[in-house]
Chain A
């Protein structure tokens, strides 16, 4: 199929809106050809991930757009940067890297993006309506917007995200189109105990399993409890997008495009069925760890960024079981939650208890942790997946309460009721 461009799109390509916009349109058109799209679609909003510093090349790209006079055409939020701009002292990398990371963040703001600096924009900052066409980057945000909000985004990443924001266009392909959003593989919860079914830890563990088994197929999950929290769905999607390429899942009876199991599959039959047993979940939990339960050096929470509701659960736990001073305890979040913590006096409480709150960024994308070796414990499937490669620590995985109480003991504490 050859790509048909409308007059205004051809004008952008021809440079009538400046060289920066023309470059953005060249990239969008190239990607339309890559995915075999016949035309482009207008978008309502964008979430951009390119503001995270990976090296000078990302800065070269952003600077090329700024120099070319580009500006975003739709409301555009920004994902995490490499710096906590509220607490720049947290950064433990080289000063010249910090300087380039700061320039990169500034360049994206100069393009007209909002300085939101969060990987969970969907919880407070920007909730695109159901059915809206959007261009989102950041794998956990994409899966949340598609699955939980019912908005429509392909899996976008660095560069194409801001190009879509600048042109206001995306290829008419993939998950933007209704016919590509039907479920393909069914996961049925079988014999999972009530404790685990209603625990926060179900999200990342089930998500990790779903991502591994789905590959690029769209998973449908049957058997999640009604009233499951948004934070559990957030954790589920983030883990599934770490172990697999999941950009959309349906939870029968829960997510907007799956009022029924039949609706989730668009009237077709699943191509594969996986019965999710407690044994499979325990095995997935074990694959999230790289080392056996023992002493820990770090607890890291907040990937995706910790919500206010999650802080509300964390606070009484750390007050009851404060971390040992030698255990580094870090929670990553966004400024909305920081403002809430501050307003309620919790920021000071957490600081007194030895809990460090990191904003605007997260500990697996930038050097913030003091520990360079040892074991990190987390309740995040995404942290567990990426921490060994990105920060070189061993990982153990547990529920929020297991993480807090392990930090208190200095070694892994297990909830005997949870995994029976």
Chain B
């Protein structure tokens, strides 16, 4: 017999069994800690059933009767659009200051990186609460919130894109006597442009969802309409609004995916 040690199947099984037991114990403990009882769904099923019955049929007449609905959809789209454009622009600029291969002052670069990381960890629902108190409820607070979250998400994504840009073309441009800014303009930006637009479309997609959620917290738009319908117990209106929202998100997501696929396909 050789001295070579192998991982014995019995030892492996012991490890797996221990790990599984720990996970099960942990889940059970946490469920009892916050009094989360999954079985309630089955025992109290009739409540959910009654609620669903009240939600149907959806009141699509709402879209004709109430002009505000169309406007609120437009408002949500506009919020997501502006949040993406302004936040994307600021995140774009900041990411250049955070990319290792572009910005050469380590102290300021780490500052930019930390700044982007910091605004990324604050949940958007916390940001909207602050803005609603500071500037009052409505789409202005919503757009400001989206700008802040977009800077965080987009800045992080785009910093990575910039850091993955190829070194070689830049070197050849430096060799022709070009300045740092010229290298950014003629080597880095052409390289990252498709990823820039693709990320922007992706962030717009995220912002659409966020804009609806923010509406509930005072950001205006169709999210606010849905919240109001629920509060005054107009469940059939709410169902109509929910289907409308899902439909709208599907259109936005598919358009964004289609355009991104085209862009990245072209990249070769």
Does B associate with A? no
Q: Which of B's residues lie within 8 Å of A, judged by CB?
A: none
Q: Which of A's residues lie within 8 Å of B, judged by CB?
A: none
